[in-house]
């Protein structure tokens, strides 16, 4: 461990030497009578005070510019409105960034061997003469602050972590690499150990915070890894995968803003509770253009529910469903056994009966297939083929005195005939994705035809009851969303839908947008001319990227980050790769935590098909969440998941041994309630999760629900209440001061990946872990202290 400077005489002398040369920005009028530590603190406060002055000045500038814009006349030409809105966006964003930097503006500095100092913070600041005062943590120049270790200092002689309250620096910790190396002492590889441990042992607030001041070297390598290709970050529980992925989003947007900001970055999390848990991290880093979503929300107009049975989830997620949907669609394009007969011109004296034979229908089908267009967009070619052949036949039957224009008019007239349209609907019905899925899931015959490779039971799992007249259909589930999206790809938009209307931009609209972009230069607005022009279709004002992307199913993001990626089914991967045409992705997860029925057991399963040879894996190895005492208990459980896996090293021990308590079978509710009450009192304002099997008996839920402050996981206050009742699947990615695992035997038996769920449940605690059971305790938990 590296001692802090205040207790290290060697270190004092190094820092003194640097501080005393009078040329460094940290000098702040030291008094000869003060101790070294006090003088240093005063100097740091003087420097940081100057940084806040600069921050204020920049805020005042951005506010003044915004006020001017707001005072301008709102009318004018389309081009001037575009210009004004573009500048408004720019200054609003800048102001948000400057406000986000308020808390912990500057958190450290590095010093080179020749005494040169560089302060590191949330944003870059310079003085009135443009001399740099503060380096943005994402800039290449800040890298040594995170990467330097005693074994590999990389030119850094000293590193200081500043700890602040509000705008005041209250303390600092120093790492002196040169001297440690000289002294040959055992040194920690942890950077800013005191600041890190203070952050790790703080009570949880229910929301994830940023770690910008204590990012560790192995995490920094992930954050700054290159943009292209697919980066897979595998790591055990608590190794910082989520928090690192979010910092990577901020880093990539900073470093590659020209390439990424126009299309945005998409972050996928497992559910809405998790998204709420992480939603403050990126705004705190000054980023507001990142779209957070779950798979269930990626299809516009639908919010998938989590009500799927494991059997249906496994089938719906199966990659073969892509073929099934295509075959089901083909199955809905009918052909006559022999022929269909229609009567056209019923209301005129010239009505005529037409026989439409199978061969003609096959030719019409072939014409539509030949277009290579999605189903709905191919229908006009089918209609054209059918109507023109029929019109020619009528012309021939009338004795050949019709010219080509007459035939074309006749064909148009045929298309307007109801019976002709009815035939076209049978041959090639116009369908929405919802209609295709509803038809498939409501028809055992169609399921049997489209799913010959699946068992009877698998097909039955997909059947949805007809809700009956006037009843709402069952809501779409999260596992339906990738299927709806796949169906949308096959079908294309319906004629007259918003998507097909949007396709037309006038040349003038594009011209305006190009001029605006040229005037303001690249980078001021994160759009290309086409995107900007689209914003002004229908006189809309500029809307945030998240909003635009959310309602456009075909939006292609510049980079996609997937958290808890092990849970995604092959069908969900297909959807995500469509949302990321450039295949620039960061995928973080832990294969030992896979709980979803169609989830992954290897990364290549998901990635080889779409990104063969373009994905690389890195591993995070240190657990920052769970104390060593708890991690030891999970060893047996992890062995049961996969004997080859090892638990990540816990960065700290908590001093509290995990325990188990057997409660009587007959009165489980009251006994469990008593335990929860006792643990909650001991927590002293912290937060606790009670994690149970998916089928926690109602009597236990009722007993706990009577307690003040207990909520269930899917409610809106799940992250804000002192106690939350949840399954392991719902707890995925979250953390709590204390965790009570109820009936581990039931969690194990709940489904085929029950042991993975138990591993997830046991690794959520930052301080205390208890296991409450009335059934036999599984042998893999034998290390618990029995109470
Ligand atoms: N360098 C760091 N400095 C401070 N805190 C950190 C650091 N790295 C991780 N943490 C904290 O450790 C905890 C676990 O991090 P995170 O949730 O990102 O881990 P994870 O690998 O995603 O875990 P899981 O797989 O269990 O979901 C969080 O509270 C996070 O803020």
> With 70 as the cut, is the pLDDT of residue 651 above it?
yes
Helix or strand or coil: residue 15?
helix
Residue-level pLDDT at 608: 85
- Would you say residue 182 has pLDDT above 60? no
Atom of ligand 1 nearest to the CA of 244: 18
Alpha-carbon distances of 360 from 266, 343, 391, 767, rounded to whole Å: 47, 17, 13, 74
Ligand 1, CB within 6 Å, residue ranges: 196, 199-200, 208, 211, 214-216, 219, 235, 237-243, 590, 624-625, 733, 735, 763
pLDDT band at 316 (very low <50, low <70, confident <90, very high): very high
Note the maximum CA span of the chain.
Answer: 118
- Please state, in angstroms and rounded to a whole number, the distance separating the CA atoms of residues 733 and 124: 32
Instruction: Indicate whether 275 pLDDT > 80.
Output: yes
Rounded Cα distance between 680 and 669, Å, is: 16
Residue with tokens 């010239």: 350
Q: Does the pLDDT value for residue 74 go beyond 80?
A: no
As a three-state string, the secondary structure of 47-102 is HHHHHHHHHHHHHHHHHHHHHHHHHCCCCCCHHHHHHHHHHHHHHHHHHHHHHHCC
Task: State in Å: Cα 625 to ligand 1 middle.
Answer: 6
> Could you give the residue ranges of the DSSP H alpha helices within 152-293?
177-183, 193-201, 217-223, 241-255, 257-260, 272-278, 281-284
CA distances from 319 to 324, 538, 642, 664 (A): 9, 40, 25, 46
Q: What pLDDT is recorded for position 15?
A: 32
Nearest to 243 by CA among 211, 206, 214, 217: 211
- Give the residue with greater pLDDT, 480 vs 665: 480
Find where tokens 């929300």 sit: 297
Return d(Cα 707, Cα 678) in angstroms, integer: 12
- Position in ligand 1 atom list of the atom nearest CA 200: 5
Residue range 694-735, pLDDT digits in tens: 877 777 778 887 787 778 777 667 788 889 999 999 999 999
For ligand 1, atom 29, name the residue with the nearest CA: 625
Beta bridge partners of 224: none
Q: How far is CA 244 from the centre of its chain?
A: 13
* E strand or H helix at 768: strand 765-773
Gap between the Cα atoms of 668 and 772, Å rounded: 10
Least confident of 252-261, 467-476, 677-686: 467-476
Q: Buried b / exposed e across 256-294, counting CB within 10 Å, b at 16+?
A: beeebbbbbbbbbbbbbbbbbbbbebbebbbbebbbbbb
Distance between Cα 229 and ligand 1 center (Å): 24
Alpha-carbon gap, residue 360 to 357, rounded angstroms: 6
Radius of gyration from C-alpha coordinates of the chain: 32
Phi, psi dihedrals of residue 669, rounded to the nearest 5°: -60, -55
Q: Give the pLDDT of residue 506.
A: 55
Atom of ligand 1 nearest to the CA of 245: 18
- Residue 704, CA distances (Å) to 29, 436, 632 in order: 60, 43, 29
Residues 124, 139: Cα–Cα separation, whole Å = 9
Nearest to 178 by CA among 236, 262, 113: 113
Closest CA to 102 of 296, 283, 367: 283
CA of 210 to the centre of ligand 1 (A): 10
The confidence band for 4, taking pLDDT boundaries of 50, 70 and 90, is very low
Q: Which of 155, 179, 221 is nearest to 622 (CA)?
A: 221
Instruction: Report helix, strand or coil for 586.
Output: strand
* DSSP single-letter state for residue 661: E
Give, in order, the Cα–Cα distances in Å from 690 to each of 679, 713, 715, 761: 11, 10, 15, 9
Q: How close are the terminal C-alpha atoms of the chain, in Å?
A: 35
Whole-angstrom distance, CA of residue 501 vs CA of residue 495: 9
Q: Ligand 1 centroid to 734 CA: how many Å?
A: 10
Residue with the smallest CA separation from ligand 1 atom 4 is 211
Q: What confidence score (pLDDT) does residue 19 get?
A: 35
Tokens linked to 325: 């949907």
532-557, pLDDT tens digit by residue? 565 555 444 456 777 788 888 988 99
Query: Which residue CA neighbors atom 15 of ligand 1 most closely?
Result: 240
Torsion over CA: 717, 722, 726, 732 (sign): positive
Coil/strand/helix, residue 634: helix
94-132 pLDDT, tens digit per residue, is 898 899 999 999 999 999 888 899 999 999 999 999 999
Contact criterion met (CB below 8 Å) for 99 and 74: no
Is the pLDDT at 407 greater than 90? The verdict is no
pLDDT at 323: 97
Q: Which atom of ligand 1 is nearest to the CA of 563?
A: 22
ipTM exceeds 0.90? yes
Alpha-helix residue ranges (DSSP H) falling in 463-569:
481-491, 498-502, 507-520, 529-535, 545-550
Q: Which of 146, 188, 243, 730 to mutate to test the pocket of ligand 1 (most atoms within 8 A of CB)?
A: 243
Strands of 378-421 (E only): list them: none
Angle (nearest 5°) at CA 130 between 126 and 133 = 25
**Of all atoms in ligand 1, which is nearest to the CA of residue 589?**
25
Contact 693/727 with Cβ under 8 angstroms?
yes
Q: 378-406 b/e with 16+ CB inside 10 Å = b?
A: bbbbbbebbbbebbeebbeeeeeebeeee
> d(Cα 761, Cα 741) in Å, to the nearest integer?
7
Probe target for ligand 1 pocket from 195, 196, 203, 242, with the most ligand atoms within 8 Å of CB: 242
More confident residue, 417 or 706: 417
Q: In sequence order, which ranges of 101-157 are alpha helices (DSSP H)?
A: 143-147
Q: How far is the CA of 626 from the centre of ligand 1 (A)?
A: 9
Asked if residue 203 has pLDDT above 70, the reply is: yes
Which candidate, 284, 270, 152, 147, places its Cα nearest to that of 220?
147
State the average pLDDT for the chain: 85
**Residues in a beta bridge with 585:** 230, 560
Name which residue sits closest to atom 30 of ligand 1, judged by CA.
Answer: 240
């Amino acid at each position: 461990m590296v001692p802090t400077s205040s207790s290290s005489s060697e270190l004092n002398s190094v820092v003194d030497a640097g501080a005393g040369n009078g040329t460094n920005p940290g000098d702040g009028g030291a008094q000869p009578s003060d101790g070294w530590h006090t003088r240093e603190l005063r100097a740091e406060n003087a420097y940081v005070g100057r940084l806040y002055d600069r921050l204020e000045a920049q805020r005042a500038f951005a506010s003044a510019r915004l006020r001017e814009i707001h005072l301008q006349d709102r009318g004018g030409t389309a081009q001037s409105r575009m210009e004004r809105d573009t500048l408004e966006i720019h200054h609003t964003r800048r102001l948000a960034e400057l406000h986000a930097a308020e808390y912990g503006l500057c958190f450290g500095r590095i010093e080179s061997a020749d005494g040169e100092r560089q302060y590191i913070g949330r944003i870059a600041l310079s003085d009135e003469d443009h001399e740099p005062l503060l380096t943005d943590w994402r800039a290449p120049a800040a890298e040594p602050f995170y990467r330097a270790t005693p074994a590999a200092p990389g030119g850094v002689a000293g590193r200081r972590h500043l700890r602040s309250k509000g705008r005041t620096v209250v303390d600092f910790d120093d790492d002196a690499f040169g001297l440690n190396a000289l002294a040959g002492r055992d040194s920690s590889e942890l950077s800013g150990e005191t600041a890190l441990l203070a952050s790790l042992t703080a009570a949880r607030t229910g929301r994830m915070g940023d770690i910008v001041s204590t990012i560790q070297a192995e995490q920094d390598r992930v954050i700054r890894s290159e943009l292209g290709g697919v980066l897979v970050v595998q790591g055990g529980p608590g190794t910082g995968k989520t928090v690192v992925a979010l910092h990577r989003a901020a880093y990539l947007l900073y470093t590659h803003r020209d390439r990424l900001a126009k299309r945005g970055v998409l972050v996928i999390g497992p559910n809405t509770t998790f998204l709420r848990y992480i939603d403050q991290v990126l705004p705190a880093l000054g980023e507001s253009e990142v779209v957070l979503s779950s798979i269930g929300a990626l299809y516009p107009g639908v919010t998938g529910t989590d009500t799927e049975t494991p059997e249906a989830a496994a089938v719906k997620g199966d990659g073969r469903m892509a073929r099934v949907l295509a075959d089901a669609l083909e199955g809905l394009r009918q052909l006559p056994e022999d022929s269909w007969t229609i009567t056209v011109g019923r209301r005129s004296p010239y009505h005529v009966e037409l026989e439409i034979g199978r061969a003609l229908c096959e030719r019409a089908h072939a014409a539509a297939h030949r277009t290579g267009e999605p189903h709905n967009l191919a229908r006009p070619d089918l209609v054209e083929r059918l109507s023109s052949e029929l019109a020619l036949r009528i012309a021939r039957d009338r004795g050949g005195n019709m010219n080509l224009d007459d035939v074309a008019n006749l064909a148009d007239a045929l298309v307007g005939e109801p019976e002709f349209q009815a035939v076209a609907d049978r041959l090639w019905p116009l369908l929405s994705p919802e209609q295709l899925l509803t038809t498939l899931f409501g028809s055992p015959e169609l399921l049997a035809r489209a799913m010959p490779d699946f068992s009877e039971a698998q097909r039955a799992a997909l059947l949805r009851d007809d809700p009956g007249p006037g009843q709402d259909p069952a809501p779409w589930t999260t596992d339906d969303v990738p299927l709806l999206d796949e169906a949308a790809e096959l079908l294309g938009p319906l004629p007259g839908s918003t998507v097909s209307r949007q396709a037309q931009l006038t040349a003038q609209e594009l011209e305006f947008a190009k001029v605006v972009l040229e005037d303001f230069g690249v980078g001021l607005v994160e759009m290309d001319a086409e995107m900007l022009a689209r914003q002004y279709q229908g006189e809309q004002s500029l809307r945030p990227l998240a909003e635009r992307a959310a309602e456009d199913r075909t939006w292609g993001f510049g980079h996609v980050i997937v958290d808890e990626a092990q849970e995604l089914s092959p069908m969900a991967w297909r959807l995500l790769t469509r949302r990321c045409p450039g295949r620039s992705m960061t995928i973080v997860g832990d294969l030992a935590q896979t709980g979803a029925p169609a989830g992954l057991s290897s990364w290549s399963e998901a990635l080889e098909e779409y990104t063969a040879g373009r994905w690389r894996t890195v591993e995070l190895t240190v657990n920052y969440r769970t104390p060593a005492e708890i991690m030891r208990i999970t060893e047996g459980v992890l062995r049961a998941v996969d004997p080859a896996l090892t638990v990540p090293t816990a960065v700290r021990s908590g001093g509290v041994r995990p325990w188990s308590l057997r409660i009587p079978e007959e009165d489980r509710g009251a006994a469990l309630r008593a335990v929860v009450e006792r643990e909650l009192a001991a927590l002293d304002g912290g937060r606790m999760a009670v994690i149970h099997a998916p089928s926690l008996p109602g009597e236990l839920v009722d007993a706990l629900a009577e307690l003040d402050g207990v909520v269930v996981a899917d409610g809106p206050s799940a992250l804000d209440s002192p106690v939350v009742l949840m399954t392991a699947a719902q707890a995925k990615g979250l953390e709590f001061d204390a965790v009570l695992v109820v009936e581990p035997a039931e969690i194990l038996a709940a489904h085929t990946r029950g042991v993975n769920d138990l591993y997830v449940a046991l690794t959520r605690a930052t301080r205390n872990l208890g296991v409450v059971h009335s059934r036999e305790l599984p042998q893999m938990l034998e290390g618990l202290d029995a109470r």
